[in-house]
Amino acid sequence: MRGIKVLIFCCFAALSTAGLAQRDFSQVEITTHRLADNLYYLKGAGGNIGMLVGEDGVFLIDDQFAPLTEKILAAISAVTDQPVRFVFNTHHHGDHTGGNQNLGKAGAVIVAHENVRVLLIKGIEGLLEEWAHQRRSPRGDIDQLLTADQRAGLPVLTYKDSVHFHLNGENIHAFYNGPGHTSGDSFVHFQNANVIHTGDVFRTTGYPFVDGKASGSFLGILASYEMLLEISNPDTVFLPGHGVPSGQDDIREQLEMLYTIRDRVKTGINDGLNLERIQSTNPTAEYDDRWAGGKVKGPDLVKVVYNELIYK
Ligand SMILES: [Zn+2]
């Protein structure tokens, strides 16, 4: 029995190591793109990195994957000799927060919505189990279990509704608009440059992804798109979590599509159809060519919409 357990453990260990090894970052190139006077974004692997530079230091939004930190820092130093002072996480996903620990150790202050910190802590392997075990003989706060390395990768400053940064002549308003892509999404609005980093709530690479494990919400994404339109104007540039800088029309086009899909699913539910029947009517038909190329396929989106509407 013991032998089998060891064997199973080894297989899992081998699988996860193989999973990591598959991701080869050595060929990834970080490219720098200008959005406004002192505002840029960096592309590489993972989420688009926003970067405000100036005499007050670098304000970074998201940091992709840990193996890319060196290249990201090289790309930053090609633009400015100032250090990274703040790293703002738009949400907790690893393709946006993987560089946190490196940058935190290098002295950057990591900032995020309070739920991002909770979700990142939940993702630390074995930590919740250890905490549950220790709680039996009351030991208090989970923070006390974190190592210095783990703490370096977590936001040290969190906010609940909104937070302002004032540096490099820019007013940066970061705020929470409720659950959408996850339950910890921030929009980061550079009010003078008229640029909004949307995190993964808005992407131009595929259908919206609702992270159910992190209490995301499709209807929340719709509300968030409405909010983006409300606080912007025709000149606003939206930097999506993945994809290319966009305008209000791009947000509107996606929003219209998402309302259409929602209404079709709603009609199916009102007609008494179950999920499979609604999926078979193909409510995303004319949109799949353009939007189903990523990990969210038409039927996946329909399922998310259905589950949210049916349980409301
Ligand atoms: Zn994400």
pTM tops 0.85? yes
Q: Is the pLDDT of residue 13 over 60?
A: no
Q: Please state the domain count of the chain.
A: 2
- What is the CA(6)–ligand 1 centre distance, in A? 34
**154-201, pLDDT tens digit by residue?**
999 999 999 999 999 999 999 999 999 999 999 999 999 999 999 999
- What is the CA(199)–ligand 1 centre distance, in A? 7
- What is the CA(55)–ligand 1 centre distance, in A? 31
One domain, residues 97 and 39:
yes
Quick one: average pLDDT of 31-59? 98
- What is the CA(220)–ligand 1 centre distance, in A? 15
**234-258, pLDDT tens digit by residue?**
999 999 999 999 999 999 999 999 9
Identify the CATH number of the domain in which residue 89 sits: 3.60.15.10
- What is the CA(27)–ligand 1 centre distance, in A? 22
One domain, residues 94 and 158:
yes
In a domain, 22, yes or no: no
227 or 143: whose pLDDT is higher?
A: 227
- What is the CA(128)–ligand 1 centre distance, in A? 22
In a domain, 7, yes or no: no
Q: Which domain holds residue 291?
A: 257-312
- What is the CA(80)–ligand 1 centre distance, in A? 28
Domain termination site, one of 246, 274, 302 = 246
- What is the CA(116)–ligand 1 centre distance, in A? 11
Instruction: Supply the pLDDT for residue 135.
Output: 61
One domain, residues 58 and 199:
yes
Assign residue 277 a region: left if phi > 0, alpha if psi is -120 to 50, beta otherwise? alpha
Model confidence at 18, pLDDT cuts 50, 70, 90, reads very low
- What is the CA(46)–ligand 1 centre distance, in A? 9
Domain termination site, one of 195, 216, 246 = 246
Domain termination site, one of 246, 276, 291 = 246
In a domain, 78, yes or no: yes
Q: Residue 235: helix, strand or coil by DSSP?
A: coil
Any residues with CB less than 8 A from the CB of 250 and at least 6 apart, and which? 204, 238
